[in-house]
């Protein structure tokens, strides 16, 4: 047992330490990261207080106070505990944020429902009953406290971001990981009793309407849930708008990305039972410290995964669900309209305005919209077209009638809020109650129903007037553009006529005569006397009016004179530059056959994987410092019946698969390259040139493999290249493939080559 006076001695040491830290560096102002769910901003005229950082892992024993301007670091200064303000000078919270990055990002909040109004009066302490409490010192009001039954005497902030309370024996009696807010950190678990809850808005940590939890009753999947009321209340109406799919033993059916375990290791203990526990940990293939990562349920109801990039100091969003923000249930509230095509996802329909303008401006759209003005039912009302949308909440009564009859019926009923009309089937549906979760459908939707909302007549008239003005403006712009186009065509035609007039004389600078085709036809007597034939046409004898003899070359193809003196790009990735004279362009083996994926030749459907194949071929060229097809560095024999060229990829693939990366790397590099990086580059290239497109990685995965984030396995030999190696048109350095070698197999001592005559004739 420690001496009885040890607590008082430690308290004295800590108080002395606070006095020494009077010149501590102030905490940077919290800044909103574009990918962060939390926003921090100074109010006008408000200055951020100077903070003092306690450079210890813990505060020990009863009555040790953490005041508003002091913070605690974790062991390696990854996380920091203290009071923060997420945007308002009158609301302060005890929370945890990342201390090792320049952008404060909050991961846990204690008193999220009861903020402190004055920064100077904010304190946190371990009370006499052994609980961590957050108090307003001015009023001595406890705003938040931990729920531990056993008394705690020590507080620590762990390197994982977990705040723990310990008893005298050093055992954990309470931890923040058991009470998560909106952030899911590595090592934190989801259970049937603990889940994530979103912030109410970007600047308000109060519990929002969205939660991430194990989905009852079987607890075999994770769900995003909307709650119309308190998330923690059993009386709230909830709606599940996204699930992971069932657990199959390795991953969730709806999240196939979980099978790629390059950073995360997921574990599901006791699935499909009330004792289910799901969590994840970080891992690194190269043994180095893994990057900072977190899952966040933001205030808009999207679950997002972020990874911190040290190079650009930015939170990269790696994954989000649902991908379409308008799929988040209840995002815009009653009569709010969601569209991802606008800057803000939520807007009010014409004739409506936000119920709470302040919350709406803070991106809290949950209270929805209401009418701008009250109207007497049935008097001075009309309808506004919203378009093809999806909606929830309204009761539907169907009629087989024209739109005008539906409108008349809806206007007579005060409970009617709008109608749906299908022009094709002439089916009309009147809507009663309240429209909730309205969002626009995609252009490929099969529905033909349009929503019309009942609004005051003056709003409908205003919209019609706006539409008339808009159409008038469009017509005016079209008239101006038409006149401008006609004027440009006239000027161009006038310029052409002027140029033709100049051609009858001489160039003003060189004084050289310009002949028209009609004049040349007369000079050569209709191109009758042929002197010879060149590469682009025939040469004819002519005689000018002054008896001078001339030779006139008549080009055989239109435009050849302009193009024959220009370099022409005609292959590989530049299809848009092919001239109108060509239906397609074929070049040599290196330009076409050596880079084009097998799908182009076989005629099957083309996907983005064809570019992955071409990229792999380019990587091999970069690694070897040679073209895919070129003369051998030391050939012994020129091959029979043609000029022998060496086809590099199959030989390089064979060497890389066997681990002989040194033989493939450009000899000019000597020993100045990183063998591990070169081997990774080569293996990625071989994966890219697999003849089966399903085996090729996506370009996103290629990037991760090249960066070393994903471990690169040894790929199988490309079967198509193996078949080419065994063909008669290929041979090796100093020897051809022996007859004893099995068809389609690699020979380690063979660098394959190809007869260009055979390949070009086959093309």
The reply to whether omega before 322 is within 30° of 0 (cis) is: yes
Listed range (360-364, 493-497, 653-657) with the worst mean pLDDT: 493-497
What does the pLDDT average to over 680-701?
A: 91
Return the residue matching tokens 């729920």. 147
* Alpha carbon distance 147, 162 (integer Å): 16
In whole angstroms, how far apart are CA 243 and each of 113, 261, 270, 322, 453?
28, 21, 19, 9, 32
Residue 753, pLDDT score: 31
Whether this model's pTM surpasses 0.95:
no
Q: Which two tokens stand for residue 218?
A: 């079987």
Bridge-partner residues for 421, per DSSP? 428, 450
Give exposure, 580-601, as e/b (b: 16+ Cβ within 10 Å). Answer: eeeeebeeebbbbbbbbbbbee
* Alpha carbon distance 250, 234 (integer Å): 32
CA atoms within 13 A of residue 492's CA, in its CB half-sphere: 6
In whole angstroms, how far apart are CA 345 and each of 187, 339, 389, 438, 443?
33, 5, 14, 11, 18
Listed range (433-442, 452-461, 466-475) with the worst mean pLDDT: 452-461
Residues 6+ apart with CB under 8 A from 612: 688, 696, 697, 698, 699, 702
Question: Is the CB of residue 571 less than 8 Å from the CB of residue 585?
Answer: yes
**Model confidence at 722, in pLDDT bands (50, 70, 90)?**
low
Listed range (5-19, 435-449, 656-670) with the worst mean pLDDT: 5-19
- For 245-313, list the strands marked E by DSSP: 264-269, 277-282, 293-297, 303-309
122-167 pLDDT per residue, tens: 899 888 888 999 998 888 889 999 999 999 888 999 999 999 999 9
Q: Is the pLDDT of residue 254 over 90?
A: no
Between CA 57 and CA 65, with CA 63 as vertex, the angle to 5 degrees is 55
* Alpha carbon distance 511, 494 (integer Å): 24
158-199 pLDDT per residue, tens: 999 999 999 989 999 999 999 999 999 999 999 999 999 999
* Alpha carbon distance 432, 414 (integer Å): 9
Residues in the chain, total: 763
Q: Is the pLDDT of residue 112 over 60?
A: yes
Residue 287, sorted as left (phi over 0), alpha (psi -120 to 50) or beta, turns out to be left
* Alpha carbon distance 517, 553 (integer Å): 12
Task: State the chain's mean pLDDT as an integer.
Answer: 75
Residue 222, pLDDT score: 94
Residue 740, pLDDT score: 39
Residue 650, pLDDT score: 86
Return the residue matching tokens 């048109």. 729
Bridge-partner residues for 754, per DSSP? 645
Residues 6+ apart with CB under 8 A from 239: 225, 226, 228, 329, 330
**Model confidence at 83, in pLDDT bands (50, 70, 90)?**
very high
Question: Is the CB of residue 330 less than 8 Å from the CB of residue 228?
Answer: yes
* Alpha carbon distance 287, 211 (integer Å): 34
The response to whether 530 counts as a known ligand-binding position is no
Q: Is the pLDDT of residue 630 over 90?
A: no
- For 283-357, list the strands marked E by DSSP: 293-297, 303-309, 314-321, 336-338, 346-348, 352-354
Q: Which two tokens stand for residue 445?
A: 């939707």
Q: Where do the domains of the chain lie, and which CATH numbers do they carry?
A: 1-179 (2.90.10.10), 194-323 (no CATH), 327-465 (3.50.4.10), 517-563 (3.30.200.20), 598-762 (1.10.510.10)
Residue 93, pLDDT score: 93
Residues 6+ apart with CB under 8 A from 658: 748
């Amino acid at each position: 047992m420690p001496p009885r006076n040890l607590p008082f001695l430690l308290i004295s040491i800590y108080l002395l330490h606070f006095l020494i830290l009077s010149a501590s560096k102030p905490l940077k102002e919290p800044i909103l990261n574009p990918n962060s769910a939390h926003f921090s901003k100074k109010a006008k005229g408000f200055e951020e207080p100077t903070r003092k950082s306690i450079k210890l892992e813990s505060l020990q024993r009863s009555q040790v106070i953490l005041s508003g301007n002091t913070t605690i670091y974790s062991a390696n200064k990854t996380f920091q505990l203290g009071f923060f303000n997420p945007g308002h000078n009158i609301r302060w919270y005890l929370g945890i944020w990342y201390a090792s990055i320049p952008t404060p990002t909050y991961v846990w909040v204690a008193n999220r429902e009861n903020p402190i109004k004055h920064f100077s009066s904010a304190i946190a302490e371990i009370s006499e009953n052994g609980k961590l409490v957050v108090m307003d010192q001015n009023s001595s009001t406890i705003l938040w406290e931990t729920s531990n039954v056993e008394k705690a005497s020590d507080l620590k902030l762990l390197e994982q971001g977990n705040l723990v309370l310990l008893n005298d024996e050093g055992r954990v009696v309470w931890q923040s990981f058991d009470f998560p807010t909106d952030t899911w950190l590595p090592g934190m678990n989801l259970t049937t009793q603990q889940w994530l809850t979103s912030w109410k808005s970007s600047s308000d940590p109060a519990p929002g309407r969205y939660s991430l939890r194990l989905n009852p009753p079987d607890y075999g999947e994770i769900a995003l849930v909307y709650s119309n009321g308190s998330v923690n209340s059993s009386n709230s109406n909830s709606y599940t708008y996204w699930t992971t799919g069932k657990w199959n033993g390795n991953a969730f059916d709806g999240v196939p990305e979980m099978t790629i375990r390059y950073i995360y290791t997921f574990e599901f203990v006791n699935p499909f039972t009330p004792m289910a526990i799901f969590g994840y940990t970080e891992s690194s293939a190269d043994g180095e410290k893994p990057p900072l990562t977190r899952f966040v349920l933001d205030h808009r109801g999207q679950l997002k995964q972020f990874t911190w990039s040290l190079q650009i100091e930015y939170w990269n969003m790696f994954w989000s669900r649902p991908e379409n923000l308008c799929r988040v249930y209840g995002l815009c509230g009653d009569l709010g309209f969601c569209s991802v095509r606008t800057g803000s996802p939520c807007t009010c329909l014409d004739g409506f305005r936000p119920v709470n303008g302040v919350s709406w401006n803070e991106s809290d759209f949950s209270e929805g919209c209401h009418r701008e003005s009250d109207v007497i039912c049935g008097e001075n009302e009309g309808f506004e077209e919203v378009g093809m949308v999806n909606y929830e909440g309204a009761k539907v009564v169907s009629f087989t009638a024209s739109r005008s009859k539906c409108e008349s019926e809806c206007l007579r009923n005060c409970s009617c809020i709008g109608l749906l009309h299908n022009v094709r089937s002439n089916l009309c549906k009147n809507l009663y109650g309240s429209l909730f979760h309205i969002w626009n459908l995609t252009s490929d939707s099969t529905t033909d129903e349009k929503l019309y909302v009942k609004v005051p007549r003056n709003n409908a008239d205003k919209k019609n007037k706006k539409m008339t003005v808009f159409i008038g403006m469009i017509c005016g712009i079209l008239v101006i553009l038409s006149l401008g186009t006609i004027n440009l065509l006239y000027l161009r035609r006038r310029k052409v006529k002027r140029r033709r007039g100049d051609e009858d004389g001489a160039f003003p600078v060189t004084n050289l005569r310009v002949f028209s085709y009609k004049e040349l036809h007369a000079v050569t007597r209709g191109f009758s006397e042929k002197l010879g034939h060149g590469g682009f046409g025939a040469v004819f004898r002519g005689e000018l009016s002054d008896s001078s003899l001339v030779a006139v070359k008549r080009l055989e193809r239109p435009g050849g004179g302009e193009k024959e003196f220009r370099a022409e790009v005609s292959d590989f990735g530049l299809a848009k530059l092919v001239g109108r004279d060509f239906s397609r362009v074929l070049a040599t083996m290196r330009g076409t056959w050596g880079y084009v994926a097998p799908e182009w030749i076989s005629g099957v459907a083309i996907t983005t994987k064809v570019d992955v194949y071409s990229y792999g071929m380019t990587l091999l060229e970069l690694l070897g410092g040679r073209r895919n097809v070129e003369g051998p560095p030391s050939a012994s024999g020129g091959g029979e019946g043609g000029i022998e060229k060496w086809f590099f990829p199959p030989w390089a693939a064979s060497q890389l698969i066997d681990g002989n990366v040194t033989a493939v790397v450009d000899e000019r590099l000597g020993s100045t390259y990183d063998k591990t990086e070169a081997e990774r580059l080569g293996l990625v290239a071989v994966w890219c040139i697999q003849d089966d497109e399903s085996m090729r990685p996506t370009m996103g995965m290629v990037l991760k493999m090249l960066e070393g984030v994903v471990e690169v396995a040894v790929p199988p030999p490309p079967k198509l290249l193996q078949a080419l190696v065994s063909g008669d048109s290929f041979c090796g350095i100093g020897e051809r493939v022996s007859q004893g070698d099995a068809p389609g197999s690699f020979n380690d001592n063979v660098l394959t080559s190809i007869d260009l005559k055979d390949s070009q004739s086959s093309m």
